[in-house]
Amino acid sequence: MKLYSFDGVDAALDLLPLAARRALDVAGLKLSLEAWRALPLESRRTLVELGASSAVDLEGVARLLLPAQTTPIEALIEPHAVAVPAELSMMFGPARPISAALWQALSPLDRYALLKVASKGNPERMKAAYGEIVGHSALSTHLSPAGGARMVDVAQKAASLRQAIAESRVTMNSDAFARVKSATVPKGDVLGTARLAGIMAAKRTGDLIPLCHPLPITSVKIDFSYQGDDVVQIEATVRVFGRTGVEMEALTAVSVAALTVYDMCKALDKGIEVSQLFLVEKTGGKSGDYHRPIRKGTGRRRKNQKGSKGTSFSAKRS
């Protein structure tokens, strides 16, 4: 049963909590305090649960309140789940920001509660509501209002096709590099093993990174290229049809693939260096596409760049 501390309603439900108010407003019904208190406690609890759900069951509310004395009112049209209402941002002001990402991460009841409290204009109540519903989440949606780490609820996001590409580089001495190119490393097939490791890592990202969601990945592709005479460059492309992106899956894939190259070649060079791990691009999702600009000193050479001196290939032996 969802009750807010700032609302001043306890488990006895002697007063009408915001969750119950949302159920009534969305159903277009008004209930006096006397009529509320006349309802059996179990009915009041049920109305609170209906109001806390992602979508209010209008028929359920009507059935529940059939014996009660209600007054018809104009039904509430709930705020858009993506765009922050301009009036809400204005009422809370710059000192209490609500970003679009945060707004989307809130539950429908949380959004209703913020709007309801703000519409009354009580500064102390607005401060308390913001602190309990938003709080530290204003800094990051991965923080709870109280400041603890949390996994963002993506249930309300629309599923779409998303893709992410990440890169990393492994630098080694000339002997180890030559052995990798000729597929004569004593430990075995370096790139083939690294490719499998990267694919497996992408699929297990949700187990490795605490706040990542387990995702139904549809594709993982690991490519390698030789840069100069001492660098193996690794690129991972991960795709998913889901409610959140796969940036972390792509980054995890190239990280583990690079570490596997290190493990396979460390007997030949103790000074192997894994470096320049970064996201190349991501597509899909509400935040839009991202393409990393070419930066001096990164050593990055894209396969479609003119003048690239690297040799590109998949995980097959050259």
- Tens digits of residue pLDDT in 192-211: 999 999 999 999 999 998 88
pLDDT tens-place string over residues 207-263? 998 888 889 999 999 999 999 999 999 999 999 998 888 999 999 999 999 999 999
Q: Select from 212, 264, 220 the least CA-distant residue to 239.
A: 220
* Residue span of the structural domain in which 180 resides: 160-314
Bridge-partner residues for 31, per DSSP? 70
CA distance 298 to 302: 11
Q: State mean pLDDT over 69-85.
A: 91
Contact 195, 234 (CB under 8 A): no
Q: Are residues 165 and 303 in the same domain?
A: yes
Q: Are residues 113 and 10 in the same domain?
A: no
Q: Are residues 166 and 282 in the same domain?
A: yes
Which of 57, 207, 263, 289 does the annotation list as catalytic?
A: 263
Q: Specify if 220 maps to a domain.
A: yes
Q: Specify if 77 maps to a domain.
A: no
Within 10 Å of residue 10's Cβ, how many Cβ atoms? 11
Q: How far is CA 228 from the centre of its chain?
A: 38
What Cα–Cα distance (Å) separates residue 286 from each residue in 104, 211, 224?
A: 10, 19, 31
Q: Are residues 165 and 205 in the same domain?
A: yes
Q: Are residues 166 and 309 in the same domain?
A: yes
The domain boundary, picked from 100, 131, 156, lies at 156
Percent of the chain with pLDDT over 90: 72
Q: Which residues contact 245 (CB under 8 A, 6 or more apart)?
A: 162, 164, 282, 284, 285, 287
pLDDT at 296: 58
The verdict on whether 263 is a catalytic residue reads yes
pTM of the model: 0.59
Within 10 Å of residue 181's Cβ, how many Cβ atoms? 17
pLDDT tens-place string over residues 146-170? 777 776 667 667 788 999 999 999 9
Within 10 Å of residue 289's Cβ, how many Cβ atoms? 10
The domain boundary, picked from 156, 173, 206, lies at 156
Q: State mean pLDDT over 127-135.
A: 94
What are the tokens at 314? 């998949």
Q: Are residues 182 and 302 in the same domain?
A: yes
Q: Select from 252, 243, 249 the least CA-distant residue to 284.
A: 243
Q: Specify if 131 maps to a domain.
A: yes
Q: Are residues 309 and 215 in the same domain?
A: yes
Q: Are residues 169 and 207 in the same domain?
A: yes
Q: Are residues 145 and 174 in the same domain?
A: no
Within 10 Å of residue 208's Cβ, how many Cβ atoms? 12
Structurally, the chain folds into a number of domains equal to 3
Burial of 154 (0-12, 13-18, 19+ CB in 10 A): middle
